Chains A and B, each alone.
Chain A
Amino acid sequence: MAMDLTQFHQIFFEESLEGIATMEAGLLALAAGGAEAETVNDIFRAAHSIKGGAATFAFTEIAHLTHVMETLLDEVRAGHTEPTPAVVEALLAGVDCLRALLQAQKLGVAADEARRATVESRLIGFLGAANPAGQATTPTAATPSAPTPTAAVATPLAPDTPSTPDTNNASGWRIHFRPHRHLMQSGNDPLRILQELRRLGEARIVADTSALPGLHGLDPEDCYLSWRIDLLGSPSRAEVADCFAWVEGDCDLDISPLAGAPDLPALASPPSPGGPSGLPRSSASPASPASPKPSAPGPATPAGAEGGWTPGLDRLTSIRVEIDKVDALINMMGELVITQAMLNQLSEQLEIAGVEKLRDGLAQLARNTRMLQESAMGIRMLPIGVSFKRFPRLVHDLSERLGKKALLRLSGEQTELDKTVLEKISDPLVHLVRNALDHGIELPAARRAAGKPEQGLLTLNAFHQGGNIIIEVSDDGAGIDRERVLAHARARGLIKDDEILTEDRILDLIFLPGFTTSHTVSDVSGRGVGMDVVRKNIKDLGGVVEIRTTPGQGTTFRVRLPLTLSILDGQLVRVGEEIYILPLISIVESVQVDPRQLKSVASRSEVYRLRNDYIPVARLRDLFHSVSDRAALRDDGLLVIAEGDGQRIGLFVDDLLSQQQIVIKSLETNYQRVEGISGATILGDGRVALILDVAGLIALSKGWNKETSDALRDLPVSDRQGATPGVLT
Chain B
Amino acid sequence: MTSAAYAGTLTQSADDTEGKEQYLSFIIANEEYAVEILRVQEIKGWDSVTEIPNTPPYVLGVMNMRGTIVPIIDLRLRFGLKTVEYKSTTVVIVLKVHAGGRERVMGFVVDAVSDVYDIGRAQHKPPPDFGTAVETRFLRGLATVEDKMIILIDIDYLVDVDLLGAGVAPPPAPTLAPPLVA
Contacts and interface: CB of A to CB of B under 8 A. Distances in A.
Chains A and B touch (C-beta atoms under 8 A apart): yes
5 contacts: A666-B69, A671-B104, A674-B53, A680-B50, A687-B48
A283 interface: no
A626 B59 CA distance: 13
B45 interface: no
A724 B165 CA distance: 32
Interface in B149-178: 163-169
Contacts of B51: 578, 624, 626, 628
Nearest to B97: A670
A667 B54 CA distance: 14
Given A623-B53, A682-B64, A687-B64, A672 B169 contact: no
A16 B76 CA distance: 59
Interface in A674-706: 674-677, 680, 682, 686-690, 700, 703
A670 B70 contact: yes
Interface residues of A, number: 29
B68 interface: yes
B27 interface: no
A374 B14 CA distance: 66
A665 interface: yes
Given A672-B163, A675-B168, A667 B70 contact: no
A291 B50 CA distance: 80
Given A680-B69, A690-B50, A674 B62 contact: no
B50 A689 contact: yes
B177 to A, nearest CB: 23
Nearest to A338: B67
B54 A670 contact: no
B99 to A, nearest CB: 9
Of all A-B residue pairs in the complex, the 7 with the closest CB atoms, nearest first, are A624-B53, A688-B50, A671-B71, A670-B104, A680-B69, A665-B69, A688-B64
B134 interface: no
Given A675-B167, A680-B69, A688-B62, 12 more contacts: A624-B54, A667-B69, A669-B68, A670-B69, A670-B71, A670-B105, A671-B71, A672-B164, A672-B165, A676-B53, A682-B69, A687-B48
Interface string A641-673: 000000000000000000000000111011110
A594 interface: no
B74 to A, nearest CB: 14
Interface string A581-625: 000000000000000000000000000000000000000100111
Contacts of A667: 52, 62, 69
A625 B62 contact: no
Contacts of A710: none
Interface in B28-75: 48-55, 59, 61-64, 67-71
B69 A671 contact: yes
Contacts of B70: 670
A671 B50 contact: no
A96 interface: no
Contacts, number: 80
Nearest to A667: B69
B110 to A, nearest CB: 18
Interface string A298-331: 0000000000000000000000000000000000
A626 B169 CA distance: 10
Contacts of B67: 335, 338, 665, 682
B19 interface: no
A674 B50 contact: no
B160 to A, nearest CB: 11
Contacts of B55: 674
A672 B161 CA distance: 13
B100 A672 contact: yes
A625 B164 CA distance: 19
A32 B162 CA distance: 59
Contacts of B164: 672
B106 interface: yes
Contacts of B50: 578, 680, 687-690
Interface residues of B, number: 29
B166 A672 contact: yes
A671 B71 CA distance: 6
Interface in B88-105: 100, 104-105
B63 to A, nearest CB: 7
Contacts of B104: 669-671
Nearest to B107: A670
A247 to B, nearest CB: 65
Nearest to A729: B169
Nearest to A707: B169
Interface in A39-89: none
Nearest to A624: B53
A105 to B, nearest CB: 30
Nearest to B52: A674
Which among B62, B64, B68, B164 has the greatest number of chain A C-beta atoms within 10 A?
B64
Contacts of A338: 67
Contacts of B48: 687
A625 B163 CA distance: 17
B168 A700 contact: yes
Contacts of A669: 68-69, 104
Contacts of B169: 625, 703
Given A669-B104, A688-B62, A703-B168, A626 B53 contact: yes
Given A670-B106, A687-B64, A625 B54 contact: yes
A686 B166 CA distance: 28
Contact of B62 (A335, A620, A671, A676): A671
B68 A688 contact: no
Interface in A331-347: 335, 338
Nearest to B62: A688
Interface in A423-454: none
B51 to A, nearest CB: 7
A671 to B, nearest CB: 4
A124 B147 CA distance: 86
Contacts of A686: 64
Interface in A125-152: none
Nearest to A674: B52
Contacts of B53: 620, 623-626, 674, 676-677, 690
Nearest to B169: A625
A680 B52 CA distance: 10
B45 to A, nearest CB: 15
A670 B69 CA distance: 7
A667 B53 CA distance: 12
A676 B105 CA distance: 22
Nearest to A680: B69
Given A625-B169, A675-B168, A700-B168, A670 B52 contact: no
